[in-house]
């Protein structure tokens, strides 16, 4: 068996499993489960119920309702009264009867009814006719703009000047740089420049 290839080993194992009885196949399955790690395991089925409920207790009502759509087991857990009762009591929503052990989901139904009574809706967005658009006027300057002469306009069209931060000059002279680590007065430094 040690000298056989992987394909030969698989063929022999398939032949052996086909000839085994059901009890022998169950035995093989248990042995494989013990040796091969399982993947994508639902934590709510592996953990104790108390821990699963503790994890679900941190979820808000909307997330709990979404969890109820995952599987039947999650639906059962997410609709338990142990999760919904504290959410109702936080808002002071009490039920006026004592549910029997056979009545499950009473607190969730009560929570949903109370939220419906609140009639919480999204804020209404006004229609296009209700929007008010203010007429915006440009701000007029006190200083009149300089008009370029015709000769100056012609030179700027032919050659584009780059802004100081994009020019090729390595030592720009038109910028005033303040180094706040030198304890100089910035106004005094600007006057010196």
- How far is residue 177's CA from residue 192's CA, in Å, rounded to a whole number? 12
CATH code, domain carrying 69: 1.20.1280.50
Does 2 fall in a domain?
yes
Boundaries of domain holding 18: 1-39
Last residue of a domain, one of 102, 118, 134: 118
pLDDT digits 0-9 by tens, 37-72: 777 778 888 889 899 999 999 998 889 989 999 989
pTM of the model: 0.45
Q: What is the dihedral of CA 31, 38, 79, 104, to 10 degrees?
A: 0
Does 193 fall in a domain?
no
**Of the ranges 12-16, 28-32, 166-170, which one carries the lowest mean pLDDT score?**
166-170
- How far is residue 74's CA from residue 80's CA, in Å, rounded to a whole number? 10
Asked whether residue 82 falls in the same domain as residue 28, the answer is no
Asked whether residue 47 falls in the same domain as residue 113, the answer is yes
């Amino acid at each position: 068996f040690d000298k056989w290839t992987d394909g030969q080993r698989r063929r022999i194992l398939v032949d052996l499993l086909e000839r085994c009885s059901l009890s022998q196949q169950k035995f093989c399955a248990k042995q494989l489960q013990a040796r091969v790690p399982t993947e994508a395991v639902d934590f709510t089925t592996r953990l104790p119920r108390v821990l699963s409920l503790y994890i679900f207790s941190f979820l808000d009502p909307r997330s709990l309702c979404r969890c109820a759509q995952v599987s039947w087991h999650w639906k059962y857990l997410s609709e338990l009264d142990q999760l919904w009762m504290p959410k109702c009591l936080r808002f002071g929503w009490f039920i006026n009867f004592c549910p029997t052990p056979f009545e499950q989901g009473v607190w969730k139904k009560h929570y949903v009814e109370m939220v419906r009574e609140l009639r919480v809706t999204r804020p209404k967005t006004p229609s296009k006719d209700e929007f008010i658009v203010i007429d915006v006027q440009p701000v007029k300057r006190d200083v009149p703009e300089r008009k370029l002469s015709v000769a100056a306009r012609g030179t700027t069209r032919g050659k584009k000047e780059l802004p100081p931060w994009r020019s090729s000059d390595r030592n720009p002279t038109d910028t005033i740089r303040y180094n706040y680590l030198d304890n100089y007065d910035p106004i005094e430094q600007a006057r010196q420049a």
